[in-house]
Structure formats: structure tokens, C-alpha cells
């Protein structure tokens, strides 16, 4: 039986969703974040970095969301429902979005999270203005311009197609879901300015497999370090 080591409100929610789309049975082992929003030490027994998601499948341990998506699609999607042929344009787009989600979009979202934590840090009252000023500077000079650039890029990419790889829903959309859910929750994704991205989020939430995964593991609405 395939085992998913699942951290609440995290990237591992995508793995549950993918498994539900594939119809692959799995066992869920759940972990809860601490007050610092980090994963518990118990996850280190599964993988040295102590982060989620991690899966175990017949003695094979796979970590990292993108690697897990590629592994599961390669092993269990025999009909090719969730991945277009790699030698075509849709296949090239599919590969791009699998890597873009974590490699390009997540870093500014994580900086946004850290800036918010700096702003809320418990510090002596006389240094609070300085701390708040540093956080505001980071947000104004890096976070907001960077996210605005990404959101505009993504809006344009969805102008001619409903899904990121093309006309058909794919595992690339599952991989893209976490940063966009996080952006909607915390990163300033604006429905009025980004209607196509808002539509994408509505469509994924309407999918029965997404709803089953959310019912089983919760929604991935928080930016986490794992």
C-alpha cells in the first residue's frame, strides 16, 4: 500500500489530489505543524530533511513535490490521462509548469511570508518601527513587484487555454495549485485583476478528486516551509 506522509496545510495536499485523480489507494499518515508553522521532528524518521510531502511505495521513498508527481504519473497513469506526450508543445509546457511552480513562483511567496513574520515578530517596542520599516521595504521593493510580474505572466498564459499545459487538465495544474492557492490566501492574488487565475482556482475546486482530497487531508491554504 502506498503511504503518504501528509503535513496539514502544505504542499502534500497536491499529492493526495493527484492520487485521487489517478484512483490509486493510499494510506494517510498525518502530521501537524507546530506553533512556528514548521513540520514536527517526527518527519525526520521518514526523510532526513523532516519535510513533507514524502511517499513510500513498495519500499521506495520519494520526496519533493515535483519528483513525487513525476513518479506517480510515470508509475500509475498508464493511460496518459494526466500528462501529455513530452515531444509535443503541450508536453513541453507540462514540463515547464512542473518546475516553474516551485522554482519560480514559490520563492517570492515565501519571501512574502517571511516579511509578514518579521512584521509580527515580538520585539521591544522601541525597535518595532524599524522592524516594520524593514518588512515594508522588502514588500515594496521585491515582493509586490515580483508577484505582480508573475501574476501578469500567468494571466497571459491562460488567455488561450483553460489549463496550463493546454486544453486538457494535467498533473501540471495540480503542481501549480499550491502556489496559487497560497497566493489567493496570503500573496495578494486579486480576483478583479487576475480573473483567469481566479477562474482556474474555481475550476480545480469543482473537481470531485480535489474535493475528496480536501475532505481527507484538508485544504492547502497556508504557505509553509515544508
Q: Pick from 105, 194, 198, 99: which is nearest to 150 by CA?
A: 105
Q: What CATH number has the domain bearing residue 54?
A: 3.40.30.10
Q: Pick from 17, 170, 18: which is nearest to 89 by CA?
A: 170
pLDDT (0 to 100) of residue 111: 85
- The answer to whether residue 161 sits within a structural domain is yes
- Do 203 and 110 have their domain in common? yes
- Do 103 and 199 have their domain in common? yes
Q: What CATH number has the domain bearing residue 160?
A: 1.20.1050.10
- Do 56 and 137 have their domain in common? no
- Do 60 and 110 have their domain in common? no
Of 76, 101, 126, the residue that ends a domain is 76
pLDDT (0 to 100) of residue 96: 97
- Do 187 and 114 have their domain in common? yes
Write out pLDDT tens, residues 95-111.
999 999 999 999 999 88
- Given a contact cutoff of 8 angstroms between Cβ atoms, the answer to whether 73 and 83 are in contact is yes
- The more confident residue out of 220 and 206 is 206
What's the pTM value of the predicted model, to 2 decimals? 0.88
- Do 172 and 63 have their domain in common? no
- The answer to whether residue 224 sits within a structural domain is no
Sign of the dihedral defined by the CA atoms of residues 105, 146, 10, 167, in that order = negative
Q: How far, CA to CA in Å, does 165 sit from each of 67, 73, 84, 150, 168?
A: 18, 15, 8, 17, 7
Work out the pLDDT band at 84, boundaries 50, 70, 90.
Answer: very high
- Do 96 and 195 have their domain in common? yes
Residue 5 neighbours by CB distance under 10 Å: 25
- Do 98 and 55 have their domain in common? no
- Do 33 and 98 have their domain in common? no
- Do 18 and 54 have their domain in common? yes
Q: How far apart are CA 19 and CA 91, in angstroms?
A: 21
Mean pLDDT within 10-28: 93
- The answer to whether residue 43 sits within a structural domain is yes
- The answer to whether residue 215 sits within a structural domain is no
For residue 134, the enclosing domain spans 89-207
pLDDT (0 to 100) of residue 163: 98
Amino acid at each position: 500500500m502506498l503511504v503518504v506522509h501528509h503535513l496539514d496545510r502544505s504542499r502534500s495536499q497536491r499529492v493526495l489530489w493527484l492520487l485521487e485523480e489517478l484512483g490509486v489507494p493510499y494510506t494517510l499518515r498525518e502530521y501537524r505543524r507546530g506553533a512556528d508553522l514548521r513540520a514536527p521532528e517526527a518527519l525526520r524518521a521518514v526523510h532526513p530533511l523532516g519535510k513533507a510531502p514524502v511517499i513510500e511505495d513498495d519500499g521506495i521513498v520519494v520526496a519533493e513535490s515535483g519528483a513525487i508527481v513525476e513518479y506517480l504519473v510515470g508509475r500509475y497513469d498508464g493511460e496518459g490521462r494526466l500528462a501529455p506526450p513530452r515531444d509535443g508543445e503541450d508536453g513541453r509546457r507540462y514540463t515547464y509548469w512542473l518546475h516553474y511552480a516551485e522554482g519560480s513562483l514559490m520563492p517570492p511567496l515565501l519571501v512574502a511570508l517571511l516579511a509578514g513574520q518579521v512584521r509580527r515578530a515580538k520585539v521591544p517596542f522601541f525597535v518595532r518601527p524599524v522592524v516594520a520599516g524593514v518588512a515594508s521595504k522588502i514588500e515594496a521593493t521585491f515582493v509586490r513587484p515580483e508577484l505582480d510580474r508573475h501574476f501578469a505572466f500567468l494571466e497571459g498564459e491562460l488567455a488561450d487555454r483553460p489549463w496550463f499545459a493546454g486544453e486538457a487538465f494535467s498533473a501540471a495544474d495540480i503542481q501549480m495549485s499550491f502556489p496559487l492557492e497560497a497566493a489567493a490566501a496570503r500573496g495578494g492574488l486579486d480576483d478583479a485583476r487576475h480573473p483567469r487565475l481566479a477562474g482556474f482556482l474555481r475550476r480545480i475546486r469543482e473537481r470531485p478528486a480535489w474535493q475528496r482530497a480536501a475532505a481527507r487531508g484538508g485544504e492547502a491554504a497556508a504557505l509553509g516551509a515544508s
